[in-house]
Amino acid sequence: FLFITTGEENLLAILKRRWWKYMILGIIDIEANYLVVKAYQYTTLTSVQLLDCFVIPVVILLSWFFLLVRYKAVHFIGIVVCILGMGCMAGADVLVGRQQGAGENKLIGDLLVLGGATLYGISNVCEEYIVRNLSRVEFLGMIGLFGSFFSGIQLAIMEHKELLKVPWDWQIGLLYVGFSACMFGLYSFMPVVIKKTSATAVNLSLLTADLYSLFCGLFLFHYKFSGLYLLSFFTILVGLVLYSSTSTYVAQDPRVYKQFRNPSGPVVDLPATGQLEPSVTYTSLGQETEEEPHVRV
């Protein structure tokens, strides 16, 4: 309520300045979810699991060029170990014959996963920028506003026939409520974790989600178990520990940084002679600061 009615950063002021940016971000996030879910209709579960890892290099590249995040060798080693763990899990799926979701056109499904993973990466990097530099409340409010609006339009245009075919009963309704609750929790807690760590760390952590779904499927759907699943789980955990063991650092140009911190202030003319070298700000995973970070030149 306060977000809507009070202060300079109220809903109307935010919409006036940045409405088109949040509109684009909302559409990107909607289509990322839609493409990945739609891919299950055409391709196998194993393909979705493997190709969904494409979000990791997308996040790394976007973070490097737009957020100016710089990684060390141990970070890349941790990322490779996590991806190896994911490949181990996919191999276990093949060995136990867990190939649910095979459709008529596997190529279309694989392309949908790659497209969804790319959009996920863009959305996550934008989310990291917003929650670090603007506000977590602003991000959730704007994504919720534009996401609900455009997802409703897309549902009415593209999925209304399928929605009418659903044999509604209390069990199906409960499944929808449960899915909505899980997505609500994911979108509510992810900005907190991204602000304390990074979009890359969050996506590496999400690789374990397939393992948790497998463990639930062992009891609910009687999936076949393989020791490779445990090996892949611990491999991903080792990769996460390696990645989180060392802090990333951010290379920043002080001129850009000051203009961002004082968007309405006067522009300071810099001397024409001499070239200003870019500074490096070291950031620690898990450390949250509200003041301007110390800049070393």
Question: What's the CA gap between 295 and 282, in Å, rounded?
Answer: 9
Question: What's the CA gap between 65 and 67, in Å, rounded?
Answer: 6
Residue 271 inside a domain? The answer is: no
- What is the 3-state composition of the chain as percent helix, strand, coil, each rounded to the nearest 5? 70, 5, 25
Rg (CA), the chain: 22
pLDDT confidence bin for 13, thresholds 50/70/90? confident
- Residue holding tokens 């393909």? 47
How many domains are contained in the chain?
1
Residue 5 inside a domain? The answer is: no
Residue 256 inside a domain? The answer is: no
Instruction: Lowest mean pLDDT of 23-32, 76-85, 105-114, 184-193, name the range.
Output: 105-114
Residue 280 inside a domain? The answer is: no
Residue 109 inside a domain? The answer is: yes
Question: What's the CA gap between 45 and 97, in Å, rounded?
Answer: 11
Phi, psi of 252 (to 5 degrees): -130, 145
Global pTM reads 0.77
Q: Which structural domain range is residue 103 located in?
A: 18-248
Per-residue model confidence (pLDDT) at position 64: 92
- Residue holding tokens 């710089």? 70
Residue 253 inside a domain? The answer is: no
Question: What's the CA gap between 86 and 49, in Å, rounded?
Answer: 8
Crossing angle of helices 106-133/170-196, nearest 10°? 50
Which candidate, 114, 137, 142, 139, places its Cα nearest to that of 125?
139
- Residue holding tokens 């109220």? 10
CB 281 within 8 A of CB 294: yes
Segment 21-49, tens digit of pLDDT = 999 999 999 999 999 988 888 887 777 87
**Range from 90-94, 97-101, 267-271 that averages highest in pLDDT:** 90-94
Q: Which amino acid is at 46?
A: T
DSSP 249: E
Residue 3 inside a domain? The answer is: no
Residue 44 inside a domain? The answer is: yes
Q: Is the pLDDT of residue 252 over 60?
A: yes
Crossing angle of helices 209-220/73-96, nearest 10°? 20
> What does the pLDDT average to over 135-140?
90
Structure tokens belonging to residue 187: 């979108």
